[in-house]
Amino acid sequence: MKIAVFGCGYVGLATAVGLAEMGNEVIGVDIDEKKLGMLSSGQVPFFEPGIQEMLKHNLAEGRLSFSSDIHSAIQFGELIFSAVGTPPKKNHEADLSAVLNVAESFGRYGSNGKIFVNKSTVPVGTSEKIRETIELFAYQPFDYCVLSNPEFLREGTAMQDFFHPDRIVIGIEPKDLDAKKMMDTLYRPMIEQGVPVQYTDIRSAEVIKYASNSFLATRISFMNELAEFCELAGADIKTVAKGMGLDKRIGTTFLDAGLGFGGSCLPKDLAALIEKGEALGFDFELLKQVQKINQKLPERMINKLKKYVPNLQDATIALWGLSFKPKTDDLREAPSLKLMKRLLKAKARLQVFDPVSMHHAENIFLERPEFFSKITFAGSAHQALQNADALLIVTEWDEFRNPDYAKIKSLMKQPIIIDGRNLLVPKEALESGFIYESFGRNLPGLQSQTQKKRSLKSKQRVTYRSNVKKSQVVLE
C-alpha cells in the first residue's frame, strides 16, 4: 500500500517507520528541511528507543523516504495520514492550523479514491472542519473519505506500542465500505495477533483519545492526593497502590504517586477537553481538579526541601532527571522545569543531570541568561552531587534506582534526598545516614510528627476522660 504521512515528529515518524516496517511504501512529509535531511541520512532528531535502527533498515530497503514536496506526496499516497502537531493556544484550545493545512493540500491535490486519515489529536467536530477545508480548496469535486484513527503511542515505547497496541480505533462513516476494507488490510498484521479493532462514528473516535488521556491523568492525580493523605495518616502509598491494583477492576497502571504527569499529551489533552467542554457550555469540574492537583506537586516538593534547607539562596541543589518520564528526552510540561525555575527564582544554584535530555535543557535556559549562569549541566549523576546541599530525584531513570549511598554521601555537603518518584527504598536510604523524604510513604522506624502529635492528643483525651469518670464516681 502507498502511504504519505504528514508530520515527522514523535507520532508521525513512529507511524511512518512502523507502516514501512509492515511492508508498505511510505513517504514522510515535513516542512522542516533540516529534519528531513537528518531523517534521510538515518538520524532521528529526538530520543526514542528502537526507532533509529528501524528507520535505517527501511531506508535501505527503499520502502521509506522523506520529502517536503506536498503535491507529489498526495499524488503518491492512497492513504494520506495527518500526524502533525496540535499545540495548545493561549486559551488551551487545540491549534488546528497544521491539520487544516494538510486538509487544504489534500483538497488542492487530491483525486478520486484518496483517503484522509487523521491521526493528530483533535477536539470533537474536527472532521467536519477537515471536510469543509478540503471542499473549499478542491478545484473540482472528487470522491474521498475522511477517517479518524487516533494514536495511543507512549514516548519511550512508541515502536512497541505501534506493533502491539491495546486497541485500534477507527472513526468512519457507515457508507465508506471501501475505506474500511483498506484499513482492515492495513492493520491486518495487528488484527491477526488478536488486537481488537473498534469502528465507531468519527465524533466518538475523536472523543476516545481525549477521554483516555484525561482518565489516565485522573488516576495519577487521585494517587497524588491520596499520597498526601497517607503522609498524614501514617500509611504507605506504595502498599496502598499495590492493594488497589490487585482489584482487576482497577489494575496496576498509573497508580504511582510523586511529581505528577507532564509531556506533550496528558497536560495538553486534559486542558483541551476542559476548554472544549466550556465551548459547549459544559463544566468539567472533576478534570479541573485533576489539573489543579497536578500543578501544585512541584511546590509540594519545594516545601519538603525547605524543611531541611529553609534558606535556598546560594544553596546548591542537585537534580537527577529532567525529562518528563524515562526513555525520552522530551521536556514539554516536565516537572523538572517548574522546579528549576522555582529554585532559581529563590536564588539557589543548580547542578543537574539527565541521561538524554541535557542539550534540550541547555537550549531552554540559554534564553534566560540570568538563570543559565546559576546552572551546572553535569556530565554524570555523581558529578551533579558535588558539594550539594540536597538531591532531588525528578525522573525515574533506571540508573538512579540503586545508588551507591556511601559514594553519594561523600560527595554531598548534606545527606538529604527528596525523592519525587518514590524510586528508592526508604529503609536503605535511612540506614545509610540520609535524611530521606518521598511522597506518601510510611518510612520504617520513623513516626511522622503529625502522628506523634495525634498520639499525644489521644493520650491526653484518654487521661482526661479517665479523670472525669473518677470524679463522677466520687461525686455519686
Task: Please identify which residue in the block is written with the cell numbers 528531513.
Answer: 36
List of residues 6+ apart from 422 with CB closer than 8 A: 237, 238, 256, 257, 258, 438, 439, 440, 441
Helices (H), 187-236: 188-192, 202-233
SS3 355: coil
Alpha helical stretches, state H, 259-383: 266-279, 285-306, 335-345, 358-366, 369-372
296, 308, 448 from 233: Cα distances, Å: 20, 22, 9
What is the grid cell recorded at 90? 493561549
Among 8, 145, 230, 265, which one carries the catalytic annotation? 265
Cell reading at 414: 548534606
Note the maximum CA span of the chain.
103
Q: State the amino acid at position 326 in one-letter form.
A: P
Q: What gap in Å lies between CA 221 and CA 254, rounded to an integer?
A: 10
Which residues neighbour 126 within 8 Å (Cβ) at sequence distance 6 or greater?
A: 96, 99, 118, 206
Backbone angles phi, psi at 22, to 5 degrees: -80, 5
198: β partners: 169
Distance CA 171, CA 101 (A): 21
Tell me how many degrees the CA angle 392-238-342 measures, rounded to the nearest 5.
25
Known catalytic membership, residue 230? no
Q: Which three cell numbers stand for residue 83?
A: 500526524
| C-alpha cell of residue 211 | 477521554
Cell numbers representing residue 178 in the block: 471501501
Rg from Cα positions in the chain: 27
Interatomic CA distance for residues 387 and 316, integer angstroms: 7
Active-site positions read 265
